[in-house]
Amino acid sequence: MTPLCTSLDHRLSRRMFLGASGAMALGGLATPVLAEQLRKERKQVLFVWLDGGMSQLESWDPKPNTPFGGPFRSIPTSVPGIHISELLPNCARAMKHLAIVRNISTQDNSHSAGVERIQRGDPKNRGVVYPYFGSAVAKLVGSGDSGLPPYVWVKPMSGGFMYKDAGFLGPKYGALALGDGKPPENLLRPADVTSDDDRERNELRKLADSRYAANRRPDTTEANSYAFELAAQLQKRIELFDVSKLPAKDQERYGTHDLGRHLLLARRLLEEGVTFVKVTSYGWDTHGDHFNGAANLHPKFDKPFAAIIEDLAERGMLDNVLVIAIAEFGRTPRINGHLGRDHWPEAWSACMAGRGIKKGVAAGKTNANGTEVNGEPVDIGGLFHTWYEALGISGDKVRYHNNGQPLPIAHEDMHAVKEVLA
């Protein structure tokens, strides 16, 4: 049996998250002072998903000169005593803003199970399908005052309105996915349809929707109406998607490859107030020719990730934006017969920064060869508690309510990683 993954192994990895919740209606009552206060209290998330599994040994937890360390060196960072892989020189300079968790240990070593578990937080079995983290944030935090969808997923390939990952929260909390960072197809009104015609068509649609919804479950019908509302919002902000008009210097700093372009778009969306922006990068499942793959992949992450951290810091936005870079697992210390690293949930790393996160720290550690965690491991439920606390949401006190049933937002038997919380 070959250890190499096929495209089928990633099919579930490529359908994810999120959603929305109602915005606060301020209307004409919002004073400039109140508007400024709301901006200061804004809670946002940038979630960088490295689909397939980034190698911790070639990124956040290098083990040079060990049996499994590989050919790359570790280099010092802007924080004395913390070293990361030489493949991430820009992140090394940005380390003063970052926090690394090196003692993650999870359970599932398949993509289909790992992606689900990592992004849902692995709560105890409650007999319901839990939402992915982005759907949860959109529900618990809301859409703010941006007038834009609360969750936007920027990804390669196709886009659309993805509803399934919202779990029991209902289809309304699905993801607005921008395929290749582009707005949904057929978003703009045809030139031969006037604004009056468009308004009348929408009034007719609302009447039809109301009749259709009368004797049906509200979840699906609300999601259908919500999709039209999203389109109407986006029609007014179509200029957001044209990153080619940004300064050439920005495009150079981020890179013209997919992840660079998409993180630059993510910066614009965050600047405009989108609550949750997820950016997905594919191709990290390096079962074969791993070291050449890492030499190509890791710099493509390093450059734009460091750039967006620096830009958010320069704009004062890291006080509001929680930044997370994570995958479904790490890579095996042992090199396989294809000169690759396989799936390794036993001991791996993630990086975060921004709102509620301590700057310039590396929490937890692995043993000398990187084969297992030294000390207490952190499961994904612990990371969910960490992220919620960073956003000012108490995982011990806040509850979902699903048809009258109170449900915890994170695994009750796990706790936050206090070493990385500010």
Total Cβ atoms within 10 A of residue 155: 24
Query: Is residue 31 in some structural domain?
Result: no
Residue-level pLDDT at 30: 38
Closest by alpha carbon to 244, among 232, 231, 260?
260
* Domain of residue 47, CATH code: 3.40.720
Tens digit of each residue's pLDDT (9 = 90 or more) over 230-245 = 767 777 777 787 777 8
Q: Which residues constitute the domain of residue 243?
A: 7-22+38-420
Query: Is residue 90 in some structural domain?
Result: yes
Cβ neighbors of 71 (< 8 A, separation 6 or more) are 291
Residue-level pLDDT at 29: 31
- Decide if 183 contacts 239 (C-beta within 8 A): no
Residue-level pLDDT at 281: 97
Query: Is residue 348 in some structural domain?
Result: yes
Query: Is residue 27 in some structural domain?
Result: no
Q: Are strands 343-344 and 330-331 parallel, antiparallel or unpaired?
A: antiparallel
Query: Is residue 114 in some structural domain?
Result: yes
Residue-level pLDDT at 82: 98
Tens digit of each residue's pLDDT (9 = 90 or more) over 264-319 = 999 999 999 999 999 999 999 999 999 999 999 999 999 999 999 999 999 999 99
Model confidence at 222, pLDDT cuts 50, 70, 90, reads: low
Query: Is residue 297 in some structural domain?
Result: yes
Instruction: Identify residue 383 by its one-letter amino acid code.
Output: L
Strand partners, 149: none
CA distances from 137 to 15, 47, 114, 176, 400 (A): 18, 11, 20, 14, 12
Q: What is the mean pLDDT of residues 394-414?
A: 90
Residue-level pLDDT at 163: 82
Residue-level pLDDT at 5: 59
Mean pLDDT computed over every residue of the chain: 85
Share of the chain above pLDDT 70, in %: 82
Residue-level pLDDT at 260: 96
Structure tokens that stand for 326 in this block: 């994570």
How many angstroms separate the CA atoms of 210 and 208, rounded? Answer: 5
Q: Are strands 44-50 and 276-281 parallel, antiparallel or unpaired?
A: parallel
Query: Is residue 209 in some structural domain?
Result: yes
Tens digit of each residue's pLDDT (9 = 90 or more) over 333-392 = 999 999 999 999 999 999 999 999 999 999 999 999 999 999 999 999 999 999 999 999
| Count: domains in the chain | 1
Cα angle 10, 16, 18 (rounded to 5 degrees) comes to: 170
C-alpha dihedral (57, 62, 65, 66), degrees to nearest 10: -50
Strand partners, 54: none
Strand partners, 152: 176, 277
Tens digit of each residue's pLDDT (9 = 90 or more) over 30-45 = 344 544 554 557 899 9
Phi, psi of 306 (to 5 degrees): -65, -40
Model confidence at 182, pLDDT cuts 50, 70, 90, reads: confident
Q: What is the mean pLDDT of residues 179-200?
A: 71
Model confidence at 147, pLDDT cuts 50, 70, 90, reads: confident
Residue-level pLDDT at 181: 87
Structure tokens that stand for 414 in this block: 């796990």
Determine the distance from the C-alpha atom of residue 190 to the mean position of all C-alpha atoms in its chain, rounded to a whole number: 34
